[in-house]
Chains A and B, each alone.
Chain A
Amino acid sequence: MRDKFADVIYKIGKKNKKIAVLVADISPAGSISDFKKEFPERFINTGVAEQSMIGIAGGLALKGMRPFCYTIATFALYRPFEMVRVDLCYQNLPVTIIGMGAGLVYSTLGGTHHTMEDIAVATAIPNMTVICPCDPEEMKLATEWCALKSKGPVYMRLGKRGEKTFTKNAIDSFKIGKIRKVTSGKDIAIITYGTLISMSFEVKDKLNDKNIKASIFSCHTIKPLDEIGILKILKEYKKVIIMEEHVPNGGLKDKVLSLAFKNKMKTEIKTFTLKDKFIHFYGSYPELLNVHGLSSNKIVSEILKRK
């Protein structure tokens, strides 16, 4: 997703002079270095100074530009949090924060580099839009929307690299603010977002072996949440699964459960999230997810358990 983002922003930036890219000491992967080379005046590397990255982007946006701030998600959102809140959200400026390598993807780098609470943090701020594309295709469409159409600040959660495309033959088209059906199955619905969609496909396939047909939904826009779309899913399916790479507090799980409660839904909802724990484990990304309880086998066996 990282490389694809660089391609997309380079192409948009070539046509649109309002686009600026700010990074905080992130090595310019792929086309970001082309952007830097061709538009050096619209590329700013603040160095390891994330607060100024956000503040300067705010200043550029006050003059009508549409900046993208790009670094590892923890440092893009948490480190300069108050600049994000005041400079971007309080002033409601069209700046997109790209939180790269979110979730546990930097597994062996340890907890300092794990982004497990960003959805709770970012969705809590008024005016903020929160987008978590599930694959490079969604990321492309989301980035185009951020560059050309957004009216305020956006936090976009991205993976790292090598993600597969899952939405090429998706049933619904991509629209910001609308939950999107990716594959169709009549028995249960899996709602997920971001790179964890890959695991949801494993779950779907394993359930299929047990003759349970699952739909997969990409809830790429967490804020504003498509409440109507989610309620429709809660009405249509007897069992709904939520999978997210986020701590149990304040993520999609809480938002959907709250929605279901408010609307007196009887649907069985099973949720799978990270643990509310800093886990000092230095294995691979899938291994770390597994230690947190997220693996397709564990999820399938939970789903198969009787109520």
Chain B
Amino acid sequence: MISQNNIKLSINRCKKYRKKIFDISQKVFALHLGGAFSSLEMVDYIYNFHIPSSKKTKNDDIFIMSKGHSCIAQYIILGERGVLTSHDIENYCKANGRLGCHPDYGNPGIQASTGSLGHGLALATGISHANKLQGSSSKTFVILSDGELQEGSTWEALMMAANLNLDNLICFLDHNGSQSYGVTKQTHPKFYPISSKIKSFNWECVTVNGHNVEEIDKAYKSRKTKKPFFIIGNTTKGKGVSFMENKPIWHYRSPTPEEYLIGLKEIERGFK
């Protein structure tokens, strides 16, 4: 069980990350705030509970942000850890920086290039299989978006990961129910529910509140099989700022200075 202290630390970290991301939204035009805020607790959980920051540890677990447009959440955490520099973060999406709107392999801490949807799970499948071949006990964590479940390539990878018995692969779904052009249940009304489909591909699958670290951890530790593991995190796009929540327009838009001040107060207040 995760300790109450760890839960508190996680909540505080995410509050700090949200504020930092919100600050950046005032400096650059292009920022996918909505998706970054919906995945934040899961990104925090993967990094801070599974991928230690110290280079001295032997752990070489890998995290792939398959929904690459939310990588600002990754950058902020990598910045906190000193893997990325403050210069890197300050020059996000700027001419003299090296960090773009989507993660690039080769930048410190970035283990795969994503941005085009539907690539992360196949890459993670290859990585997980290589870990097995090389006798490594490392794990591979992935976060997918709802939109990525509409890519055929994601289902190809789901099929193959199960065949290869990849119990070292853990895939989160940031299930905020939105995509660039509206609500996913309107795009594909006949597709839902998700969980039974994932299970039918021979994955173990659980559903949690994706903003609740205690629930995420409990689900992670509840694993019963040796199948690849899929955690559906029910989330809210733009979580933490009421006027942004579940509004598809915040997929890409940055807040005005007035909106920023209102939102900042809400982030500081936090949510239950």
Contacts and interface: CB of A to CB of B under 8 A. Distances in A.
Nearest to B105: A91
B67 interface: no
A212 interface: no
Contacts of B126: 55-63, 67
Contacts of B133: 17, 20, 41-42, 65
Contacts of A44: 129, 160, 164
A97 interface: no
Interface string A39-66: 0011010110101101111111111110
B12 interface: no
Nearest to B128: A59
B160 A52 contact: yes
A86 interface: yes
B131 interface: yes
Given A55-B125, A56-B125, A56-B157, A65 B130 contact: yes
A82 interface: yes
Interface string B148-160: 0000110011011
A58 B118 CA distance: 13
B119 A86 contact: yes
Contacts of A54: 122
Given A62-B127, A63-B127, A91-B105, A55 B159 contact: no
Contacts, number: 98
A116 B94 CA distance: 41
Interface in B96-155: 105-106, 111-113, 115-116, 118-119, 121-134, 152-153
A51 B118 CA distance: 10
Interface in A221-279: none
A193 to B, nearest CB: 31
Interface of A, secondary structure class, is helix
Interface residues of A, number: 29
A63 B123 CA distance: 10
Interface residues of B, number: 30
Contacts of B113: 86-87, 90-91
A83 interface: yes
A55 B153 contact: yes
A52 B121 CA distance: 9
Interface string A4-39: 000000000000010010000000000000000000
A44 B129 CA distance: 10
Contact of A59 (B115, B129, B159): B129
Contact of A58 (B123, B131, B134, B160): B123
Contact of B130 (A52, A63, A91): A63
B111 A59 contact: no
A141 to B, nearest CB: 27
Contacts of A49: 156, 159-160
Given A56-B125, A59-B130, A62-B111, A87 B119 contact: yes
Contact of A83 (B119, B124, B130): B119
Contact of B122 (A61, A65, A83): A83
Which 10 pairs show the lowest CB-CB distances between chains A and B? A59-B126, A55-B122, A63-B130, A52-B156, A56-B126, A49-B156, A51-B153, A59-B123, A59-B127, A60-B126
Given A60-B129, A63-B134, 8 more contacts: A44-B164, A56-B126, A60-B126, A63-B126, A63-B130, A64-B134, A87-B122, A87-B123
